[in-house]
Amino acid sequence: MSTTSRWRRTAGFKLVCLFLCALTSLAPATAAAWPTAQRAIRPTPNITARAAISAPPLASTASAVVPRRIRPQALDVLSGPDGDPWSWFDGDPRPGFGGGVVRVRATLPTPTRLIAVAFWGGAAGKLTISVERDGKSEPVEGLTAIDTAALSDGWHSFAAVNGGFARTLVLEWQSRGDSPRELELWGLGAAPGAPPPDTELADQLHLGVPAGAVELVASPALAQIVPPAHSSVALTVELASEPRAFERAFLVYELRGVPHFSFVPRRLNGQPGPVPRSADEIGPEPGDGGLQVEEIAPDWLHRGPNVLEFAPIAGRSYVVGNARIVLVPAVELLARGEAMARDAELTLRTPAQPQFALLRVAKPADASVVLRAGTEAVKIDLAGMAPGWH
């Protein structure tokens, strides 16, 4: 029995059913396209057409109980100098606007109670967040005229006071020569319904579409690529929304006649994939590759029709079926680990700066949880906490 399994039988696990850390990355980082790392594939016996899976329904305001990082669904410049407001949310710390005063409307995926804004590094200017209702904007207490000039590199959080639910925010930046390098919005969202899976996001797609993700189905459903044709077979994926409203994107399809997508020459909106492996490596019995999952860069996509092309392989015929693009909004970075006696060492897949600690209490108890990182420690007293999320 593994150490993790033993921990799940202890009183500590029964008391604190699930502990999560809500985090921001240690530094902004732009996602790479067509990564070289290969994902394990799970063969599927048949390729059959499948209907699109719609986005999940919006959560009710009553379920908004835990901190979540909120990614805008749309950004529109209301006034000010030319610039790209998505530069504030793209993971790249380079500034996106010049001087002057700029006002940007941020439309959220669902009505959200704003609890904080995080600002990366310093910039000479002041930031004000307002809630927009019925065409009028009202500044959020605690998020008004935040002077960010003296901030050091790293994330700095500013808390909202008694923020109400809103679908639309107005971000006003009064520049004294600089522009925000990166922003994050934090709001209250639904509590996790179960412990997070122990697999990477790409591997979860072998089992289904994660909660909150959007699946866009390509047309036609089946494509056969037969040599010696010199032209590619094109599939089309329609995207109605802004692709930069999503943090991660995956190309998913079923493959027959070739063992792995690394042998397949492919292009997305003219962007070529990695140089394919030689067909000589396939061997006389290629078999079926089954379900293929590879991560792509969201900024390679655009509104409207997106064209996915599969090119011929010399001396090989292959079939692509049920191709789709899966878009994932703000992705939480969760701490995972194994318990050691009364301690649990949590590890992250990338360096991060904690913003919130989230835990669920199964029953009241006179106990505490101590979080340690390096030489710093924070103690959370559980005494008096009612069952539920905190």
Query: Which CATH number is 115's domain given?
Result: 2.60.120.260
Measured CA to CA in angstroms, residue 321 lies from 157, 223, 230, 290 at distances of 45, 6, 20, 10
Residues 247 and 356 grouped into a single domain: no
Give which of 214, 263, 192 is closest to 55, Cα–Cα: 214
Q: Identify the band that residue 5 occupies on the pLDDT scale cut at 50, 70 and 90.
A: very low
Residue 9 domain-assigned (yes or no): yes
Q: What is the mean pLDDT of the chain?
A: 78
Give which of 7, 67, 26, 6 is closest to 373, Cα–Cα: 26
Provide the residue range defining the domain that includes 73.
Answer: 61-190
Residues 71 and 142 grouped into a single domain: yes
pLDDT at 8: 29
Query: 3-class SS at 11?
Result: helix
Q: Which residues of 261-298 are buried (b: 16+ CB within 10 A; e: fewer)?
A: bbbbbbebeeeebeebeeeeebeeebebbbbbbbbbbb
Residues 71 and 179 grouped into a single domain: yes
pLDDT at 198: 53
**How far is 230 from 226, CA to CA, in rounded Å?**
9
Residue 54 domain-assigned (yes or no): no
Residue 336 domain-assigned (yes or no): no
Mean pLDDT confidence for 260-286: 88
CATH number of the CATH domain containing 309? 2.60.120.1200
DSSP 8-state code for residue 285: -
Residues 322 and 362 grouped into a single domain: no
Mean pLDDT confidence for 12-37: 43
Residues 307 and 218 grouped into a single domain: yes
Q: For residues 189 and 136, is the Cβ–Cβ distance under 8 A?
A: no
Residues 133 and 227 grouped into a single domain: no
Span 183-241, pLDDT tens digits: 999 998 776 655 555 567 777 888 888 777 889 999 999 999 988 766 789 999 999 88
CA atoms within a 13 Å half-sphere pointing along the CA-CB vector of 170: 21
Q: Give ∠ CA 330-334-339 in degrees, rounded to 5.
A: 170
Quote the radius of gyration of the chain (alpha carbons, Å).
24
pLDDT at 318: 92
For residue 334, pLDDT beyond 70: no
pLDDT at 199: 61
Residues 186 and 66 grouped into a single domain: yes
Last residue within a domain, chosen from 132, 158, 190: 190
Residue 40 domain-assigned (yes or no): no
Span 265-274, pLDDT tens digits: 999 999 998 8
Q: Specify the length of the chain in residues.
A: 390
**Paired sense of beta strands 304-310 and 155-159, if any:** unpaired
Label residue 215 exposed, middle or buried (CB < 10 Å: 0-12, 13-18, 19+).
Answer: buried
Q: 380: Cβ–Cβ under 8 A, 6 or more apart, which residues?
A: 357, 359, 368, 369, 370, 371
Q: Give ∠ CA 74-75-78 in degrees, rounded to 5.
A: 135
Number of helical (H) and strand (E) elements in the chain, helices listed first: 3, 25
Residues 300 and 237 grouped into a single domain: yes
Residues 16 and 128 grouped into a single domain: no
Residues 223 and 322 grouped into a single domain: yes
Number of domains the chain is built from: 3
DSSP string, 154-219: SEEEEE-SS--EEEEEEEEEEESS---S-EEEEEEEEPPSSPPPSS-HHHHTTT-PPTT-EEEE-B
Span 90-145, pLDDT tens digits: 887 777 777 789 999 999 988 889 999 999 988 999 999 999 988 888 999 999 99
Residue 301 domain-assigned (yes or no): yes
Residue 47 domain-assigned (yes or no): no
Residues 72 and 176 grouped into a single domain: yes
For residue 281, pLDDT beyond 50: yes
User: Between 60 and 69, where is the model more confident?
Assistant: 69
Q: Give ∠ CA 346-349-350 in degrees, rounded to 5.
A: 110
Residue 46 domain-assigned (yes or no): no
Residues 126 and 243 grouped into a single domain: no
Residue 31 domain-assigned (yes or no): no
